Amino acid sequence: MWSDVSDRAAYLRAAAQLRGNPGQWAAYEARGHCVVLAGPGSGKTKTLTTKMARMLTEDVHAPRGIACITYNNECARELEDRLAALGVLHDKRVFIGTVHSFSLTQIILPYAQAAGLGLPMSFGIARRAEQQAALLEALGRTNIPQNLEFRLNNYRRAYLNRDTPEWREADPNLAALIERYEAGLRRRGLIDFDDMPLLAVRALRSNQWLQRALLAKYPILVVDEYQDLGSALHRMVMGLCFRTGMRLFAVGDVDQSIYGFTGARPDLLRRLSERADVQTVRLRLNYRSGTRIVSASRVALAEERDFEAANADMQGAVFIHSMAGNYENQAVRVVRDLLPQAFIRHPGLNLGDVAVLYPAAWIGDAIADAAQAAGIAFIRTDGNALYPRSSRLMQWLEICAQWCCGGWRSGDPRFARILRGGERLFGESLKSDQRRLEFHRLLISVLWGQRDEGLRLHYWLDQLITQVIQPFGNSCALLRDELETLATFAARLSKAGDQRHMVLSELAGNGTHLSRLTLSTLHSAKGREFGLVFMFGLDNGRLPRNDADHDQRAEARRLFYVGLTRAKQEVHLLHTTGRTSPFVSEIEQHLAAE
Tell me the DSSP string of 21-51.
Answer: SHHHHHHHH--S-EEEEE-TTS-HHHHHHHH
Cβ count within 10 A of residue 579: 15
Residue 193 exposed, middle or buried by CB count within 10 Å (0-12, 13-18, 19+): middle
- The domain over range 8-108+200-283 is classified in CATH as 3.90.1150.10: no
43 has binding-site annotation = yes
32 has binding-site annotation = no
87 has binding-site annotation = no
Go through the chain and tell me how many residues it has: 594
Q: What is the DSSP string of 40-87?
A: TTS-HHHHHHHHHHHIIIII--TT--EEEEESSHHHHHHHHHHHHHTT
Residue 420 exposed, middle or buried by CB count within 10 Å (0-12, 13-18, 19+): middle
Return d(Cα 384, Cα 361) in angstroms, integer: 6
Question: Running DSSP on this structure, what letter comes out for residue 452?
Answer: -
375 has binding-site annotation = no
Return d(Cα 42, Cα 358) in angstroms, integer: 24
The angle formed by the CA atoms of residues 463, 468 and 471, to the nearest 5 degrees, is: 120
Q: What are the residue ranges of CATH 3.40.50.300 in the chain?
A: 8-108+200-283, 291-377+515-593
44 has binding-site annotation = yes
What is the pLDDT, as a whole number, of residue 90? 61
What is the pLDDT, as a whole number, of residue 91? 66
Residues 6+ apart with CB under 8 A from 473: 393, 425, 426, 429, 479, 482, 483
What is the pLDDT, as a whole number, of residue 75? 87
What is the pLDDT tens value at each position of the chain, 594 positions in all?
A: 544 434 567 888 999 999 999 999 999 999 999 999 999 999 999 999 999 999 998 999 989 999 999 988 888 888 888 888 887 766 678 999 999 999 999 999 999 999 999 998 888 889 889 999 999 999 998 999 999 999 999 999 999 889 899 999 999 999 999 999 999 999 999 999 999 999 999 999 999 999 999 999 999 999 999 999 889 999 999 999 999 999 999 999 999 999 998 889 999 999 999 999 999 999 999 999 999 999 999 999 988 888 999 998 999 999 999 999 999 999 999 999 999 999 999 999 999 999 999 999 999 999 999 999 999 988 898 888 888 877 889 989 999 999 999 999 998 888 988 998 898 889 889 989 999 999 999 999 999 999 999 999 999 999 999 999 999 999 887 788 889 999 999 999 999 999 999 999 889 875 444 588 999 999 999 989 999 999 999 999 999 999 899 999 999 999 999 999 999 999 999 999 999 999 999 999 999 987
Question: Running DSSP on this structure, what letter comes out for residue 221?
Answer: E
What is the pLDDT, as a whole number, of residue 3? 47
45 has binding-site annotation = yes
What is the pLDDT, as a whole number, of residue 513? 45
pLDDT one-digit tens code per residue, 522-546: 999 998 999 999 999 999 999 999 9
- Residue type for position 318: V
Is residue 489 within 8 A of residue 325, CB to CB? The reply is no
What is the pLDDT, as a whole number, of residue 510? 53
- The domain over range 291-377+515-593 is classified in CATH as 1.10.40.30: no
Sign of CA dihedral 497, 502, 507, 513: negative
Residue 440 exposed, middle or buried by CB count within 10 Å (0-12, 13-18, 19+): middle
What is the pLDDT, as a whole number, of residue 7? 57
Return the H-helix or E-strand segment holding 333.
helix 327-333
pLDDT one-digit tens code per residue, 175-188: 999 999 999 999 99
Q: Is the pTM of this model over 0.85?
A: yes
Alpha helix ranges (H) inside 117-274: 128-139, 148-158, 166-169, 172-187, 195-206, 208-217, 230-239, 266-273
